[in-house]
Amino acid sequence: MLQDLTHGRLENEYRPVPPLDSDYVICVRGRDILLHRSRDDTLEFPTVSQVRRWSGTWTAWGSEPLRYVFRLHGVGYYLWMGPGGKAEEPFRYEMARSLRQTVSKEVCYTAMTGWHLYNWYKNNRFCGCCGAETVHDDAERMVRCPSCGNMIFPRISPAVIVAVTSGDRLLLSRYAGRGYTNYALLAGYTEIGETIEQTVHREVFEEVGLRVKNLRYYKSQPWGVDGNVLMGFYCDLDGGDAITLDERELAMAGWYPRNALPITDDGISLTREMIRTFGEGKEPK
């Protein structure tokens, strides 16, 4: 999946150091991220030295609008938080959501994590309690209010991905009114005062009117483009299989046999891996 980085070590603890010229920068503009796409479809981020040259507004390290993200393979990654300088060819902005189609899990993971943090920083420039301008903490990935002491950590929303099974059939759906139009599993956010298991039961009943039993946890996945952590479950149908569709959430839902699933694994998403795992008969029993 997206976060399964096979080469090198991801160091995602907050340990900021001044950037090297060869470190990489994640530049966000609206819903787009700045990248270079080569002829073989390999993607890369601009380096610190390139962004410095484009911006033309740099001073000493203490005032540079760069925010540390993490280190990957011993290389630092930073967010550009200042006004954007003009990028030069061959770099151009690409839609962040389209990067789930890239072959490189590392680029996709880095872009989505950077997108997640950029939007969190942008939305928490001021304290929600007293309105004062926030400052970044020296030791943690957190912003604090110097006026009232309010501490604000990155927003991570718990959500479930649910594979409802009935013998050798799997329930697949399509979202209503969203950009992603391919097949998906049922999904939803955890509500206040609710356990993850209760979320599974509620979301399945709300979206398709079915009861489920025998919940089996599979694995989790960070999904930075929406600020989520997804928890995947398999569960069995409990009772009749007639679907009552919530048309506000879903465009369709239906049962598909194990040997004829209409979607393949993309190597990126938890949803696709869970579908493939069921197709191979390897889901937890």
The string of DSSP codes covering 112-143 is: HHHHHHHHHHHHTSB-TTT-PBPEE-SSSS-E
Domain 157-279 CATH class label:
alpha beta
Give CA angle at 91 (88, 92), nearest 5°.
105
| Residue 262 to residues 206, 245, 254, 275, Cα–Cα distance (Å) | 24, 20, 11, 10
CATH architecture of 10-123: Alpha-Beta Complex (3.90)
Q: Are 48 and 25 in contact (CB under 8 A)?
A: yes
pLDDT attached to residue 58: 47
Strand pairing class (10-11; 66-72)? antiparallel
pLDDT attached to residue 270: 93
Distance, CA of 87 to CA of 205 (rounded, Å): 49
Find all residues with CB under 8 Å of 10, minimum gap 6, and list them.
Answer: 70, 71, 72
With tokens 């209760």, the residue in question is 198
Q: Splitting the chain (285 residues) into consecutive groups of 10 residues, what average pLDDT does each group show? A: 60 89 92 85 88 66 75 92 75 80 74 89 94 93 96 96 98 88 94 97 98 97 86 98 96 96 86 96 94
Q: Where are the alpha helices (DSSP H) in the chain?
A: 48-55, 105-123, 196-208, 270-279
- Where do you find CATH 3.90.79.10 in the chain? 157-279
Distance, CA of 122 to CA of 137 (rounded, Å): 15
pLDDT attached to residue 201: 98
Determine the 3-state secondary structure of 194 from DSSP.
coil
Cα atoms in the Cβ-side hemisphere of radius 13 Å centred on 35: 20
Give the pTM: 0.85
Give the number of other Cβ atoms within 10 Å of residue 27's Cβ. Answer: 26
Classify residue 74 by its DSSP letter.
T
Q: What values do phi and psi take at 125, rounded to 5? A: -70, -20
Distance, CA of 175 to CA of 2 (rounded, Å): 21
With tokens 């799997």, the residue in question is 170
| Range list of β-strands (E), 201-259 | 212-223, 228-237, 250-257
